[in-house]
Amino acid sequence: MSKCEKCGALIEAQETYEFAGESLCEDCYLEQRVKPVTCDPWAVYSARSTKGKAPQLSEIQGRILNLIKTKGPLEAPEICGQLDISEAMFQNNFATLRHMELARGFKDGDKVRYTLF
């Protein structure tokens, strides 16, 4: 038995996860792994709960998809400007769309444009 260094839970050796040099329980390990997107509650929620389920888009993801469908391919600043969202918010949401294979980015000269998958 060892102890999770984050929440203090007792964990079996085979259920110990290493993250950044710490021994963590599965819950804390998953929490660490989704950390880059914890500012987006929906992304965290979906990372945990969409296993095997049909993907469901958040409102903002639907709007991004719709915009590049009708006006794309577009660059990030154009998308952010039209939807009035921050670049970070766009990147977070776009990562989900890309993960679902609904949209993708591609290089167009020295620019990156976004289009449907």
Q: Kindly state whether residue 97 participates in binding Zn ion, applying the rule CB under 5 A.
A: no
Residue 51 Cβ, how far from Zn ion at the closest point, in Å?
A: 20
Residue placing its CB nearer to Zn ion in the complex, 15 or 75: 15
Among 3, 6, 63, 98, binds Zn ion (CB under 5 A): 6
Q: Between the CA of residue 81 and those of 24, 52, 62, 67, 75, what are the distances in Å?
A: 41, 34, 16, 11, 10
Q: What is the CA radius of gyration of the chain?
A: 18
The interface mask with Zn ion, positions 16-45, x = CB under 5 A, is: ---------x--x-----------------
Q: Between the CA of residue 5 and those of 16, 31, 32, 48, 75, what are the distances in Å?
A: 10, 13, 12, 22, 42
Q: Which stretch binds Zn ion (CB under 5 A): 9-17, 48-56, 87-95, 97-105?
A: 9-17
Residue 31 Cβ, how far from Zn ion at the closest point, in Å?
A: 8
Residue placing its CB nearer to Zn ion in the complex, 4 or 68: 4
Among 1, 2, 3, 4, binds Zn ion (CB under 5 A): 4
Chain mean position to CA 103: 13
Of 79, 94, 12, 50, give the one whose Cα is nearest residue 4. 12
Q: Which residues bind Zn ion (CB under 5 A)?
A: 4, 6-7, 9, 25, 28
